[in-house]
């Protein structure tokens, strides 16, 4: 039985059902779990670091009539999942709130960064790992094939690409493609093959950075969930449905293929990529061509996984709990691939 005093901090928003099974697994393994959102700061949440007299770093959370306290120096692990930002209320002016926000970013961020424990993933590393063009650069350095890519807000560059390129070209958002319109549900912007009509709207490229890539023929796709040194490669049979041929997110019904472990070389290259990014958790997407070549698309440092755990019975929550309870900084090592 694991030491019952093992303490784990989870930082995420109030509604995050992905966290619930992990909390249950941590509790079953004897850990003490504190789950918080950073929006509780500063009214219901405080952070203190002091070396006047006895040195200590402590977190206190007031939840109704209950006060909870956590010794940040005793943490085994922190899961930085999807917290929302600090909430300073309406008591201060906008200028005062901006000042307080920057002070809190430096203060709270500095206190949490000083903890000598495992982070999945540290927010500063998450921020860099989320830079998709940087991922592609690193992936190419490891030897992984990546799609040929144009990043630009210059319409003339796109016009030139469409004139030169004989094959299909796709537009793919850099940030996940979720658009929040006021008063409506968030809508998704899926990867799309560019047609002739794009030439009539090239001026819109000027508005922001746009990503255009070569279209790569697929036999199937792989969604790889990396939890520490455990790999969960899931085959996505995207080509069996016309709706999902270009982007498998376009249909709510997922078509899975038979389990296929990653080739050793792809594992080594992926490990090298994640080592450069410094992250413990990632959701990595690959295309597998009809010739069997793996093509790296992207690595999401905070990608969803619960739908695969539920559909395929994969022990992902348990592995996350194990990593968080380990009580030491993560070290990349031999990979275990888990099938279904």
> Which residue ranges form the domains of the chain, and what is each CATH number?
7-116 (no CATH), 148-214 (3.30.1490), 217-337 (3.30.470.20)
Taking CA atoms, 21 is separated from 16, 28, 115, 279, 318, in Å, by 10, 11, 25, 22, 8
Residue with tokens 């793919």: 172
pLDDT tops 50 at residue 80: yes
H-run or E-run covering 270: helix 264-277
Residue 67: is it exposed, middle or buried by C-beta count within 10 angstroms (0-12/13-18/19+)?
exposed
What's the confidence (pLDDT) of residue 1?
A: 44
Which tens digits make up the pLDDT trace of 107-166? 999 999 999 899 999 999 999 999 999 999 999 999 999 999 999 999 999 999 999 988
pLDDT tops 60 at residue 3: no
Query: Are the C-beta atoms of residues 144 and 294 closer than 8 Å to each other?
Result: yes
Neighbours of 21 (CB within 10 A): 17
Q: What is the mean pLDDT of residues 282-302?
A: 97
């Amino acid at each position: 039985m694991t030491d019952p005093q093992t303490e784990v901090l989870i930082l995420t928003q109030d509604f995050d059902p992905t966290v619930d099974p992990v909390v249950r697994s941590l509790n079953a393994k004897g850990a003490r779990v504190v789950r918080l959102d950073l929006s509780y700061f500063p009214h219901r949440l405080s952070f203190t670091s002091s070396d006047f007299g006895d040195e200590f770093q402590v977190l206190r959370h007031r939840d109704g009539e209950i006060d909870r306290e956590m010794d940040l120096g005793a943490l085994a692990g922190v899961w930085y999942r999807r917290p929302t930002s600090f909430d300073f209320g309406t008591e201060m002016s906008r200028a005062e709130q901006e000042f307080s926000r920057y002070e809190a970013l430096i203060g709270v961020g500095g206190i949490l960064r000083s903890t000598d424990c495992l982070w999945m993933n540290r927010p500063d590393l998450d921020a860099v790992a989320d830079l998709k063009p940087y991922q592609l650069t690193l992936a190419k350095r490891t030897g992984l094939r990546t799609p040929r890519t144009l990043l630009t807000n210059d319409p003339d560059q796109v016009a030139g690409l469409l004139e030169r390129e004989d094959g299909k070209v796709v537009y793919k958002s850099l940030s996940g493609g979720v658009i929040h319109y006021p008063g409506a549900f968030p809508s998704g912007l899926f990867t799309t093959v560019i047609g002739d009509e794009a030439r009539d709207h090239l001026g819109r490229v000027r508005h922001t950075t746009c990503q255009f890539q070569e279209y790569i023929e697929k036999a199937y796709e792989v969604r790889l969930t990396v939890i520490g040194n455990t790999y969960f490669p899931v085959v996505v049979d995207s080509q069996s449905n016309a709706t999902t041929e270009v982007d498998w997110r376009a249909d709510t019904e997922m078509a899975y293929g038979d389990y296929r472990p990653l080739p050793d070389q792809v594992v080594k290259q992926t490990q090298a990529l994640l080592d450069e990014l410094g992250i413990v958790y990632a959701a990595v997407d690959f295309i597998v061509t009809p010739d069997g070549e793996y093509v790296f698309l992207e690595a999401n440092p905070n990608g969803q996984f619960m739908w695969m755990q539920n559909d395929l019975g994969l022990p992902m929550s348990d592995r996350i709990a194990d990593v968080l309870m380990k009580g030491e900084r993560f070290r990349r090592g031999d990979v275990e691939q888990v099938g279904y």
